[in-house]
Structure 1
Amino acid sequence: MSYDNHRGQVWQQNWSGQNCTSLGCGIETRLGVTIGTFVHIAIPYFADVSGWVAWSSLEAIDIDFCNPIPTRVLEYIVDQNIANFA
């Protein structure tokens, strides 16, 4: 996955679909991202989703999606990413 903070900074990060719900996801990263930062997330085998950083630490961030992802769509994304990263 990659995510973009609209300030010309784009980060690449492996994503397995774990720690993700229809409302948001957690991403392990060692980047200090400020709470409230608006980001775009490119989810492999799906599309881009947007959201805000809701929580941040030195090891991870949690993102609240702007629009919830339907549960069946989320299940498909997780299955596709697990199959392709296994």
Structure 2
Amino acid sequence: MEKIKLSVAGADICFEPNQSAYNKFINEMAMDNKVAPAHNYLMRIVTAETKEALTEVLTRPGAAIQLAGKVNEIYAPDLEIEVKN
């Protein structure tokens, strides 16, 4: 998988998602705990060169959830599933 490059609030941030980090993120999420797993996931997959920019963006309310959603939309797009009987 290639890097995912996003422009967020005027800052360029680059992510390198992988199966292990993605699975850990999904496993850590719970009904009452979504923000911390999203924050940790993004910090695990951000490139070293753009980590400082990400840290700054993550101070904004809702940023972790929105960013994780966008990264995963690209990394793990919805599958087309058809029921056949």
TM-score (norm: length of structure 2): 0.33
Greater share of residues in strand: 1
TM-score (norm: length of structure 1): 0.32
